[in-house]
Structure 1
Amino acid sequence: MCGIAGIVGPLASERRLSAMLKTQAHRGPDNLGKWVMENQVAFGHNRLSILDLSDAANQPFHLFDGRYQLIFNGEIYNYLEIRKRLESSFNFKTKSDTEVLLYSFIHWGEGCLKELNGMFSFAIWDSREAKLFAARDRFGVKPFHYSVQDTSLCFSSEIPPLWKAGVPKTPKDSVWSGFFTKGTYGNPSETFWEGIYQLPAGHYLIYQNSKLELRSWYDFIGNLNEQPEIQPHDQEDYILQLLLDSVKLRFRADVPVGFNLSGGLDSSTLLALVSDLFPENDSIEAFTFITGDDRYDELFWVKEMLNGRPYPLNTCLLQASEVPDLTSKISELQAEPFGGIPTLAYSKVFKTAREKGILVLLDGQGSDEAWAGYDYYVKNSDSVVQGVNSSPVRPEALDQEFAGKSHHSTYPAPFGERLLNLQYRDLFYTKIPRALRFNDRVSMAHSTELREPFLDFRLVEYVFSRPTEFKIKNGSQKWLLRQIANKYLGDQIALAPKRPLQTPQREWLAEDLGDWVESQLEILIAKCNWFDSKVVWRLWNEYKKGDKDNSFYLWQWVNAAELLK
């Protein structure tokens, strides 16, 4: 996993490229690579060495004829299998997935994307055709941001490098308004900033002769109709084998690998799979965050899960006093609103892992969306926030003209079942895009790589395509996954309730961090004219007095104050 940056067009220069790479240096401390043709094309790469640690795998990566230049962020988990298929056609010089990716593109063209099982964003410059080809993985695990300035295309793994390339930093009112009024984060191609876009998950782009073209390459809905026919009595074993293979592939690395744990079902299942594959490997370490508050910490469950297993446990403590400084640092890297104090706590996991020399971590992201794990899936609700009873947002605190700038939030509904449409929304428009962005930034902030085995496309497609009773049965959500976990872990953990709140955010904001919250609100009101200050202060005072059903809106304001400074 790394950082990529580039400029195609008259703005291409070594000076601009160097500034972009410096801004995202945390993504790859092991090598800084540049390839520049002034005023034509500039490619740069911040390398975090995970596979083939030799200099031969440094990027930008090119062949001897010089036609192609490749910069790549991510991992191709099935690179060994693809390499075997290509060995008769190409003479490999490295042991890297980078070289496999380039040869795959040369061999299959854009069709190579369907052969890849991995997380990736990459760009290839074809000097013979003077054409840029760039692509992003199926679910958008790895980021790709871009902006067109006059006749130049600038792109990077994060947003701040684009500002260094000369893109203006201008808030996009419609996205910010939607965030404050509905809790949305824009559509898959948008960011919170004017003129800065995301390449949507499962898409590629071509830039040639100053013309930009975007195309979808991942046909998720079409693939659902092509799933294998598995007999009912064999389906549990089939899914188990998919899970095991997904985890096994994500342990491919030339550096130490660990995994993240909470007390829930997803972590329980991940632990069970790791234990099945590597039952006596005590070099695989586990990580969990704590806050010192027994109402939220899941340390008891985590220790129960690890009992009798060889994996050392690292507890990563977040204290309230750390929140202001961490919020500032993580906001700078995220460059967009992120998911509150739990995201800050999660960042401590990656900091600890890096300090211990463990550069790859696995977690359970993606299970709830595929297996229908959120509470609103079984309620008559279209909510996008789990575990609250009142509205998570407070649009009454906004200036009415600004509030009206929000786009109407509608999502595709390609299925005849409400449940499937909600799952589809969360996979491609709401939950997963947000969580992947949050997690990419906090992991890369500490030069570590995060891998999500539950987002293996084979697993997601098959489970998504199954009938409702596979996911929800007798009132139990993620039903079949619980059956699989139960065989490994027993009822106590496999049937543990889902706990959406993992930090005392509500209490900290009102108590330990009250003075800081007030200073942030003052900054927010002074910085922009989006809010009715009287309503903001009234709601804040009501919150302090006990109206704490949720703190989502309060975190929105605190976070926005940091981002808009």
Structure 2
Amino acid sequence: MCGICGIVGKYDKQLLEKMCDAMVHRGPDSDGIFSGTDMGLGIRRLRIIDLETGDQPIHNENKNLWIVLNGEIYNYKELKEGLIKKGHRFYTKTDTEVILHLYEEYKDDCVDFLRGMFSFAIWDSDKKRLFLARDRVGIKPLYYSFNNGRFIFASELKAILKDESAVKSIDSESLEYYLTFLYIPAPFTIFKSVRKLPPAHILTMQDGIIKIRRYWKLDFYHDKIEAEDDYVEKIKSMLEEVTKLHMVSDVPIGALLSGGLDSSAVVALMSEFTQHPIKTFSIGFEEKFSSYNELEFSRLVAKQFGTEHHEFIIKPNIIETLPKIIQYLEEPFADSSAILNYLICKEAKKFVTVGLTGIGGDEIFGGYPRYLGLMVDEHYQRFPRFLRAALSGFSGFIPQTTDSQNIGGRLSRFFKGSCANTNQRYLSWLTYFDAVMKSELLNQEVTVRNYIHNDYLNELETSDFIDKASYMDINTYLPDDLLIMADRMSMANSFELRVPLCDHKLMELCAGIPFSVKLKGLKLKSLFKKTLNNVLPQEVINKRKQGFMVPLADWLKEDLRDFVKDSLSNEAIKKRGYFNPEYVSEVLDLHFKGKKVLTHQIWALLVFELWAQKYLDS
């Protein structure tokens, strides 16, 4: 795993060095720079494969092609064999060099052969052409900016901000996205002048002309429905193949074990391909936050597969930890589970350099309760409109709780948008600041009328709306929340996190299975559970779905109460200038007096203020 960067036009080697230094946490083992004619490529490397000869940038035989790679190509050995037969010669044992020779052979189509997580840059010095690519699912990030004749790119936003000519002007549309969903989807970033290269896209630049093209799209077409047992066998076989590929490493490897179905499945599969006990890592809370704990389930899995298990009970100083997390997240990002991800990666790094995790299972196997909500909603829409309208009006009065389940909150969201169209209803379940709240909060006109999420819902041609929802989640929530968080929090600790359930071939297999099979009888992940029925403890298979969550509501009322009030005071909000201080005061008042549960909204406001202190004030 690495941090890559580059400059084309108005080249400044000192700037490139600063960009590399800004990402030292991504690659503490080595650094490298290639300087060409008015351009340069840079890298910070975390050594995982070919520890001795794998330092980058890497060149081809003629030294007219140069590459820097962030990520891992899991099928590189197979690809290398084919390239050797075609006459290509290699001077390293790395996956990076394989990509370069694939590019020689297949040009831009080289990405079609890659299986793994990656963002990379290739410079063709003969054609003066830059080629950037990002993996299909968006596991590895890539940012870019083109201002005043200088094109710069990097694995992290903070590296691009080392360019003093970069304008730190907030994108008002991105701010609305953040308040709505608590993250900012690609291609947007919080700054107008910087963009993310979306997953499954390539970017080329030649003669000052930038072209961006999508090279892969997940297909949910179901040409025929097979027997359930046939699907089970196909999933089993693919899971074994994927896990084996993800275990290739020249450094110690382990697994993050939450106790949930997905991470437990990964540990079970890993145990098939190793002679030694797997090192597993779990995190939990004190007794008073027991509803957030899944430690009893991770212990069951660890015991069954004989892992070398490590548990960590967190009693974090959130006020001390939060600024560190915000520094590495780089953009306003209010998914509070980033705290858990940061802390577990920090602890795991003491024992291993690489860890596997279960991210991606909910999207491909049907693990989100909102997917069941869509199934129920199909019947609910047959109720008379006047009744649905009445329940929508009543939704704001449903009592909510601050525990990990918050059934009242889920019911409230379900009923609230029940008279809107299906797209709007689904998006309303994912919304934190709705249009009315944003109009009162923002000191600007609310301008986003059609979210990019809506485009993804409309893009997939299918009559099954759960397919559409899954497709949208795979293109937005998965890469721009879960995977960006996993990348940032692991790399903050110089720790490589791998996500076997995000393998694109596994995704293609699962996308071809109808949700009527994957969610049989209103049961989340029913097909996946059947696949694992004789593999995992029944307690793990039958347990209620619980996300990787923190007791945020309790922290806000106890440890963080004074800190929140100081950070979001009228004076602070007025000075910042983006939000209406009276409305922020109202939100705080309603929450702390117990009149409404506005935990996530307050967290979003707090994170934005702390982010602004770090990235705007400094």
Q: TM-score range by the shorter chain?
A: over 0.9
Q: Match of 1:13?
A: 12
CA distance in 2, matches of 1:386, 1:62: 53
- Corresponding residue SS for 2:67: strand
Does residue 359 of structure 1 match 2:379? Answer: no
Cα pair 2:361 2:501 within 8 Å, conserved? yes
Label 1:403 to 1:430 Cα distance change in 2 as closer, same or farther (>3 A): farther
Aligned to 1:450, the other structure's residue is in SS state strand
Deviation at 1:432, TM superposition (A): 3.5
1:75 and 2:72 correspond? yes
Does the residue aligned with 2:213 lie in a helix, a strand or coil?
A: strand
Deviations 1:234-265 (A, max 9, x none): 32111101001111100000001100111211
User: Which of these residues, 502, 505, 529, is aligned with residue 549 of structure 2?
Assistant: 502
- 1:99-498 alignment, distance < 5 Å: 99-166=97-164, 167-180=166-179, 182-183=180-181, 185-221=183-219, 224=220, 232-278=228-274, 280-282=275-277, 284-292=278-286, 293-321=289-317, 323-356=318-351, 358-380=352-374, 388-389=409-410, 390=412, 392-393=432-433, 396=437, 398-399=440-441, 402-409=444-451, 410-412=454-456, 413=458, 414=460, 415-498=462-545
| Contact 1:268/1:485, CA 8 A, preserved across alignment | no
Matches of 1:34 and 1:359 in 2, distance apart? Answer: 24
Counterpart CA distance in 1 for 2:222 and 2:467 is 17
SS at match of 1:294: helix
The 1-side partners of 2:62 and 2:371 are apart by 54
* CA distance in 2 between partners of 1:237 and 1:140 (Å): 28
The alignment-based identity, stated in percent, is 29
Q: Which amino acid is 1:45 matched to?
A: I
Q: CA deviation at 1:426?
A: 0.2
CA drift at 1:550: 5.2
Query: Is the 8 Å Cα contact of residues 183 and 334 (structure 2) preserved in structure 1?
Result: no
Partner Cα separation in structure 2 for residue 20 and residue 314 of structure 1: 36
Tell me if the contact between 1:366 and 1:432 (Cα under 8 Å) persists in the aligned partners: no
Change (3 A) 1:386 1:15: farther
Question: Cα gap change, 1:91/1:45 in structure 2, threshold over 3 Å: closer, same or farther?
Answer: same
Q: Give the letter aligned to residue 188 of structure 1.
A: A
Q: Distance in 1 between matches of 2:558 and 2:132?
A: 47
- SS at structure 1 position matched to 2:44: strand
Deviation at 1:403, TM superposition (A): 4.9
Deviation at residue 307 of structure 1 after TM alignment? 1.5
How many angstroms apart in 2 are the aligned matches of 1:178 and 1:314? 38
Q: Which amino acid aligns with 2:310?
A: N
**C-alpha distance in 1, partners of 2:243/2:595?**
43
Q: Distance in 2 between matches of 1:51 and 1:96?
A: 6
User: Which string of whole-angstrom CA distances, capped at 9 and with x for unpartnered residues, describes residues 513-536 of structure 1?
Assistant: 111111221375144223222221
18-27 or 288-297, which deviates more: 288-297
Q: What is the aligned partner in structure 1 of residue 384 from structure 2?
A: none
Task: Summarize deviations over 1:17-74 as a string: whole Å, max 9, x none.
Answer: 0111111110000111011236x101100000000001x2111111342101101000
Q: Which amino acid aligns with 1:561?
A: E
CA distance in 1, matches of 2:529, 2:567: 43
CA contact (8 A) 2:60 2:101 kept: no
| Matched residue count | 553
- CA deviation after TM superposition for structure 1 residue 160, in Å: 0.8
Q: Which moved more, 1:90-99 or 1:255-264?
A: 90-99
- SS of match in other structure, 2:88: coil
Deviation (angstroms), 1:163: 0.9
Larger displacement relative to structure 2 (470-479 or 249-258): 470-479
1:117 Cα deviation after fit: 0.5
Q: Normalising by the residue count of structure 2, what TM-score does the alignment of the two structures yield?
A: 0.85
Letter in 2 for 1:564: A
Corresponding residue for residue 66 of structure 1: 63
SS of the counterpart of 2:291? coil
Task: Kindly state the Cα deviation for residue 399 of structure 1 after the two structures are TM-superposed.
Answer: 4.1
Q: State the distance in 2 between where 1:100 and 1:177 align.
A: 41
Give the whole-Å Cα distance in 2 for the aligned partners of 1:2 and 1:162: 16
Aligned partners of 1:271 and 1:501: how far apart in 2? 17
Equivalent residues of 2:533, 2:541 under 8 A apart: yes
Q: Distance in 1 between matches of 2:16 and 2:513?
A: 47
State the SS of the aligned residue for 1:3.
strand
Are the structure 2 counterparts of residues 459 and 532 from structure 1 closer, same or farther at C-alpha, using a change threshold of 3 Å?
same
TM norm structure 1: 0.93
For 1:473 and 1:354, how far apart are their aligned partners in 2?
Answer: 39
The amino acid that maps onto 2:56 is Q
CA contact (8 A) 1:376 1:386 kept: no
Kept in 2, the 8 Å contact 1:3–1:157? The answer is: yes
Task: Tell me which residue corresponds to 1:544.
Answer: 592
Provide Cα deviations, 1:167-188, integer angstroms capped at 9, x if missing partner: 12221111102322x2264442
Aligned CA distance change for structure 1 residues 527 and 159 (closer, same or farther; 3 Å)? farther
Task: Determine the C-alpha separation between the residues in 2 that align with 1:502 and 1:289.
Answer: 11
- Name structure 1 gaps, 5 residues minimum: none
**SS of 2:549 mapped into structure 1:** coil
Structure 1 match to 2:26? 27
For 2:600 and 2:3, the matched residues in 1 are separated by: 31
Q: Which amino acid aligns with 2:609?
A: A
Is residue 441–residue 584 contact of structure 2 (8 Å, CA) maintained in 1? no
Contact 1:281 1:310 in 2 (8 A): no
- Aligned partner of residue 207 in structure 1, secondary structure: strand
Q: 1:143 to 1:524 in 2, by over 3 A?
A: farther
Q: Which AA in structure 2 matches 1:408? A: N
The yes-or-no answer on 1:525 pairing with 2:573 is yes
Separation (CA, whole Å) in 1 of partners of 2:595 and 2:511: 38
RMSD in angstroms over aligned alpha carbons?
Answer: 2.2
Residues 466-496 of structure 1 deviation map (CA, whole Å, 9 limit, x = unaligned):
1122211111111110012221124221111
Aligned to 1:160, what secondary structure does the other structure show?
helix
* Secondary structure of the structure 2 residue equivalent to 1:164: coil
